[in-house]
Amino acid sequence: MVHIKTSRPWEIPENEATPESVFMTRRRFLAGSLVATVATAGLISGCSPPPGDEPLISDLEKKIYPAPLNKNYTLDRDLTDESVAAGYNNFHEFSDEKADVKTLAQRLIRRPWTVEVSGLVSKPRTFDIDDLHKMLPIEERLYRLRCVEAWSMAVPWTGFPLRVLLEKVEPDARATHVRMTTFYRPFQAFGQLAFWEPWPYTEGLTIAEAMNDLAFMAVGIYGHPLPPQHGAPIRLVVPWKYGFKSIKSVVKIELIDHAPATFWNTLDPLEYDFTANVDPRVPHPRWSQAREKMIGTGQVRLTLPFNGYGREVAHLYAG
Ligand SMILES: Nc1nc2c(c(=O)[nH]1)N[C@H]1C(S)=C(S)[C@@H](COP(=O)(O)O)O[C@H]1N2
Ligand SMILES: [Mo]
C-alpha cells in the first residue's frame, strides 16, 4: 500500500520481511470465524460502547499544544507525513492488518484513564492521565522509529521523559527493571479475544534504560493528543530499540527485580529478544536488518546502529 514498488537491487522483497504477526494470523484463522459469528449475532456490538463519542481535545490539552520543541533531538531525514503514520499501525489488540488499526482502534475508551506506578518504590501511586499532563514538563521531540519489520518513520512526539515519572514514586535500590502493561479490554480490542496469546501486551526495560533521557512517555504526536491507533492516551517511545518495545496505551508501570516476560518475547523468543536494540549487523532470523524503508516515500536507507542514538545509549551496553 504505502510501499512503492521498484526493481532496484536494494528492494526488500515482501516475502522476506514478514510481519511480526505472521504466525498469529495463521493461528487466528479458525478463531476468526468464531469471533465473526459472535459479532454478526450482535453480541459484541450490542454490549460495547459507541466509538468516538468524546471531544478530540480537552481544554487542558488545548493549553499544552503545541509544546516547546526539545532541540537536543534533531533528525537526519524528513518527517513522515502524518496521514501515512496514522494509517499504518501495528497495534495487535485491534488488528494484524496495519491499514485496519486506525478504524478499529476508535473503539478504545480513553477517558477516564489511570496509570499505576508501583512495585519496588517508596511512594506507589495511581496517576490520572490529566494530572500527569498538569504535573510533568511536556515537550516535543523529533524521533526516528524503526520497526523490526524493516520499515521506519520519523515523527514528532509530545510527552515527558519516563525518568521524571519514575522519580515521583522514588524507586528503591532493589529495582533492576521496569515492566509496562497495556489495557486488557477484549470487548473494545477484539484481538485480545485470542485467548491463547499472552494478553495484555507487556514490555520491559532495565532501570538504566528507563532512566536514560531518550526513554519518553508520549501523550501526543504531530502537535496534538495521540489518536488511538498510536497508543492513546499514553505510550512509551524508546527510539533506539525496535518498535515493538514502544508499548502503547499503558495502564501500569512496575518496578521489579528481574527481567519481565514480554508479549513478543513470550510468543517467539528466537525472533524478538528482550533487549531488541536496533542493530544492522544482526539479522532477524527471517530477513536482513541492514536496510530499512521509510513508510510513505519508500526511500531506502542504511539502518543505523541504535537507530542513530549511539551517542546517547551505547554506553549502556559497553562490555
Ligand atoms: N500495546 C501494543 N503496543 C505496541 C504494539 C502492539 O501491537 N500493541 N505494536 C508495536 C510495534 S510492532 C510498533 S512498530 C509500534 C508502532 O507504533 P505506531 O503505530 O505509533 O507507529 O508500536 C508498538 N507498540
Ligand atoms: Mo514493529
What predicted TM-score, i.e. pTM, was given to this entire model? 0.89
Distance between CA 91 and CA 201 in Å, rounded? 10
Three-state DSSP at 242 gives coil
The pLDDT score that the predictor gives to residue 319 is 79
pLDDT digits (tens, 9 = 90+) for 215-252: 999 999 999 999 999 999 999 999 999 999 999 999 99
Residue nearest to atom 16 of ligand 1 (CA): 90
Among all bound ligands, the one having the nearest atom to the CA of 17 is 2
Give me the mean pLDDT over the 186-196 stretch: 97
Cβ atoms of 229 and 151 within 8 Å: the answer is no
C-alpha cell at 238: 524508546
Distance between CA 279 and CA 293 in Å, rounded? 15
C-alpha cell at 241: 530499540
Distance between CA 180 and CA 276 in Å, rounded? 16
pLDDT digits (tens, 9 = 90+) for 124-171: 999 999 999 999 999 999 999 999 999 999 999 999 999 999 999 999
Domains in the chain, CATH or no CATH each: 54-317 (3.90.420.10)
> What residues does ligand 1 touch, defined as CB less than 6 Å away?
20, 85, 89-93, 145, 147, 182, 201, 230-231, 243-244, 246-249
Cβ atoms of 295 and 223 within 8 Å: the answer is no
**If DSSP states are collapsed to H, E and C, what string results for 51-75?**
CCCCCCCCHHHHHHCCCCECCCCCC
Average predicted confidence (pLDDT) for the chain: 89
Residue nearest to atom 15 of ligand 1 (CA): 243
Distance between CA 101 and CA 87 in Å, rounded? 8
C-alpha cell at 266: 513470550
Around ion ligand 2, which residues have CB less than 5 A away? 90, 147, 243-244
pLDDT digits (tens, 9 = 90+) for 78-110: 999 999 999 999 999 999 999 999 999 999 999
